[in-house]
Amino acid sequence: MVAPFRRLWVAAILFAAFTVGCEGPPPEVYVAASGRVSASAVPIGTNEVGEPCRYQLTSANLTGVPSRREAFLFCGDWEQPSGHIAELGEGSDPAQLAALASAGPWRTYVDQRFACGAPTPARLSDGAPAVLMQCTRRVGGWPHVALTAAVGGHVFAADAVRPALPALEATLAALTGQRGPAAVATGSEARRLIAQRTVAAFGSGDEGRYFQQTRLGDAYNNIDDPANAERAYREALAIQQKVLGADNPALALTIMKLAAQIAHQQNGAEAERLLARAGQLIAKSGDPLLPAQLDYYRAVVFAYEGRNAEALALAQRAEGEFTRLAPNVTVPAPRGQLAGHSGTLGGGGVESLLTDQSPNSTQERAALSGLAEATRLHATLLQLSGNTAEAALVARRTQQILEANGMSVSSSAARSLRLLASNEAIGRDYPAAAGYSAEAEQVFSRVVPGERPEAINLLSEGAYQLQADRVGAAVESFRRAGAILRSPTVTGGARPEYIGPWLEALHRASGDRAQLDTEMFEAAQFARSGQTAQEIARATARLAAGDPRVAVAIRGSGEAARIRPAAGPARPGGCRRRRSRPDRRYRQTDRGCSSDAR
């Protein structure tokens, strides 16, 4: 019975594209939303593209920068801040402004989120001295500005999306009583310096739509919907290209994510063309994270194409590159066994994970996400090569990295546990496999509740329970999976390898025979179209009619399925758009996506 289970875990492991670089909104948004905003929003004019702006005072020290008071700047209909302002003290010495812009807590805050040029002396529209830095957001490459300024005897440190600079200057004036809050600064030296930078006009709404589409793609990826994920990433890429241009290295990560979804849909040629384009852009970038991500995504695409040896070499190389970029990652000493349910759900919980996965992530956090996913892919490919002993060690290391760094409640962690389960099943330790699947279910039910990945994990758990001769537990797992698969928002059915054990469990179960026979017919309907699915449907009818020979046929149905190990399913022709469920989840848990930061 090893071969059927090998096909089960191959299909499950490679069904979702691994997506390094999950992007969510800045953590400060959620702190503000939790009741630490101390005043209502004050209109402050418009930004460069005419979007209305407003500032809102918040608690001091909210972002980790020691301050007397802080404010967020919002423009347009983007719900995330377009800028952040901190009052650091009193003074007017230009040397003090230069020192603050060069080192210290505020500069650390900036460097974690943005890549900035050298500080340049400048003046605001009212003549106030300032030190300006022109920056780009580390995720997405969006133009940003950061500055220190002395206004009315008060020293401020601030940052904002580039078009919001007029509103930022007006906010500084309003906070010091220099002018009415509706005024908008115009013609400052700082603005003239920024205008020399040739980037297409854009507003906060453009940046907001980019992050919305990227998060949407990540969410569709998490629920194994590559067609809709592809659509979202294409829209995000179009927004980026419009503002940044087609040759900006900041496009590379979006292109790589898009390539993974296309490879998932069995279009390896197009995926490789996209990765080649990403490679050309990365060659012009000085970001050390991008080459590691490229190696990782090339490994993913090769895995989908069945080029496992090449994929394994690239995954191992990416693992080493991410390790060098995240020198402070906590990796505990290896353990022979994971710590059970309490260990799996430890490490800071959902809120800790979701805060870590934001567009404000530091380089090290992005590298940590990449390390966890590269290690998981490494373990997967070892399994595919038949090296189950080493695969088990690498899979445990993946789980330990996630646990130790506050990422144990994530899609990555759930899939890592599912990988451990499949490894135990290959070794015929079905009770252990069922235990890991149960742990994975705890995580799936929190990060993608009622979605296809949870259903597939429950089907695997049911199959393992059946092999462990726990028929009642197996039937319960299959029934819970069926409840999810019946949802109109979950499409695609299930592979025949999952349906065979489900039918066998119902055949062996005790209880109302007529009811169990009805469940068997319903279960058979979830099998995807194809010769094997048709055989299962016919076998189900005969089994319900009492033919004892069919039980043996169903148990062997996995052997009859001919499935390419490293290929995802073909893109369904009539897929329903399932945007409503991920969209709703953003509103509920928008603090980041529980992705495979994958």
Shared-domain flag, residues 221 and 171: no
In a domain, 506, yes or no: no
Shared-domain flag, residues 231 and 193: no
In a domain, 508, yes or no: no
Largest CA distance in the chain: 92
The sign one gets for the Cα dihedral 569, 573, 576, 577 is: positive
In a domain, 40, yes or no: no
In a domain, 531, yes or no: no
Whether the CB-CB separation of 498 and 563 falls below 8 Å is answered with no
% of residues, the chain, pLDDT over 70: 71
pLDDT at 144 over 70: yes
Mean pLDDT to the nearest integer, 27-45:
55
Q: 134 pairs with which residues across the strands?
A: 145
Angle, helix 363-384 to helix 308-325, in steps of 10 degrees: 150
Q: Which two tokens stand for residue 390?
A: 């080493």
Shared-domain flag, residues 448 and 317: yes
- Read off the pLDDT band of 41 (50, 70, 90): confident
pLDDT at 359 over 50: no
Question: What is the CATH classification number for the domain harbouring 293?
Answer: 1.25.40.10
Segments of 98-251 assigned E as strands: 114-116, 120-123, 129-137, 143-151, 154-161
Q: Could you give the CA distance from residue 109 to residue 135 in angstroms, rounded to a whole number? A: 13
Whether the CB-CB separation of 115 and 108 falls below 8 Å is answered with no
Q: Could you give the CA distance from residue 418 to residue 424 in angstroms, rounded to a whole number? A: 10
pLDDT in tens, 43-58: 988 888 788 999 999 8
% of residues, the chain, pLDDT over 90: 39
The domain boundary, picked from 202, 219, 248, lies at 202
Shared-domain flag, residues 126 and 233: no
Shared-domain flag, residues 359 and 447: yes
In a domain, 29, yes or no: no
Q: Which residues contact 427 (CB under 8 A, 6 or more apart)?
A: 388
Shared-domain flag, residues 357 and 452: yes
Tally of domains within the chain:
2
pLDDT in tens, 211-237: 888 888 998 888 888 999 999 999 999
Distance of CA 359 to the CA centre of its chain: 11
Shared-domain flag, residues 384 and 457: yes
The domain boundary, picked from 158, 181, 202, lies at 202
Shared-domain flag, residues 195 and 240: no
Would you state the pLDDT for residue 139? Answer: 81
Would you state the pLDDT for residue 391? Answer: 92
Q: Could you give the CA distance from residue 139 to residue 113 in angstroms, rounded to a whole number? A: 8
Shared-domain flag, residues 140 and 258: no
In a domain, 38, yes or no: no
Whether the CB-CB separation of 398 and 375 falls below 8 Å is answered with yes
Shared-domain flag, residues 14 and 76: no
In a domain, 276, yes or no: yes
Would you state the pLDDT for residue 539? Answer: 57
Distance of CA 584 to the CA centre of its chain: 16
Would you state the pLDDT for residue 141? Answer: 84
pLDDT in tens, 241-254: 888 888 999 999 99
β-strand pairing of 143-151 with 154-161: antiparallel
DSSP single-letter state for residue 68: S
The domain boundary, picked from 145, 174, 202, lies at 202
- Cα–Cα separations (whole angstroms), residue 320 to 65, 260, 293: 33, 21, 11
Q: Which two tokens stand for residue 244?
A: 């940044």
In a domain, 459, yes or no: yes
Q: What does the mean pLDDT of the chain come to?
A: 77
pLDDT in tens, 494-508: 888 888 899 999 999
pLDDT at 471 over 70: yes
Domain of 162 in residue numbering reads as 48-202
Shared-domain flag, residues 182 and 219: no
pLDDT in tens, 325-341: 887 765 554 444 433 33
pTM above 0.75, yes or no: no
- Read off the pLDDT band of 137 (50, 70, 90): confident
- Cα–Cα separations (whole angstroms), residue 459 to 132, 483, 494: 57, 11, 9
Shared-domain flag, residues 156 and 280: no
pLDDT in tens, 455-467: 999 999 999 999 9
pLDDT in tens, 402-420: 888 888 888 889 999 999 9
Which string of b and e fits 213-232 if b means at least 16 CB within 10 Å?
Answer: bbbbbbbbbbbbbbbbbbbb
Residue recorded with tokens 């409840």: 483
